[in-house]
Amino acid sequence: MSERARPSSRLRVGTGFVAVLIAAALVVGCGPTLLLPGGELQGTPVEAPADWGFTQEVSTIQLETRPEDPYSVNIWAVGVGPALYVHAGGNRSRWVEHMEADPRVRVRVGDQLYPLEGARVASAEEFARFADAYEVKYGLRPRNENVAEVYLYRLVAR
């Protein structure tokens, strides 16, 4: 058999990889997976808590933006009293753009789904409180603590 007539091993590996990705997407559903964004989050709808302190034990939550065409991501979050904070640093990511266009979001912690509203933090004092809580939870401070240069959002009950 000539070299040209043999099936390419690269083609078989590539096809197998695509099949695994499709199967994984079907198993996982529409939520975000690791670093890949997803769509509408599923869970039990509940009211926002008066205190987000319980999230101290949860390293990553899921954030859904753009209600008309849901977009969700896995993200670190810090709870300080009645506010849950999400931080993009200096990165104007898609979820930041979506929240600036429409502040309505949903957050999933475990199997509970919270309808919230986000607002960008502009106060250096509020950012400092967030940064202190972030350091306690994750063991490091945000790289840039200039509130005018970063995207920090306070999420509260609608």
pLDDT tens by residue, the chain, 158 residues: 555 555 555 555 556 555 555 544 444 445 666 567 899 999 999 999 999 999 999 999 999 999 999 999 999 999 999 999 999 998 889 999 999 999 999 999 999 999 999 999 999 999 999 999 999 999 999 999 999 999 999 999 99
Give domain status of residue 129, yes or no: yes
Query: What's the number of domains the chain is made of?
Result: 1
pTM, entire model = 0.78
Please write down the HEC assignment for all residues of the chain. Answer: CCCCCCCCHHHHHHHHHHHHHHHHHHHHCCCCECCECECCCCCEECCCCCCCHHHHHCCEEEEEECCCCCEEEEEEEEEECCEEEEEEECCCCHHHHHHHHCCEEEEEECCEEEEEEEEECCCHHHHHHHHHHHHHHHCCCCCCCCCCCCEEEEEEEC
Q: Could you tell me the CATH number of the domain that includes residue 81? A: 2.30.110.10
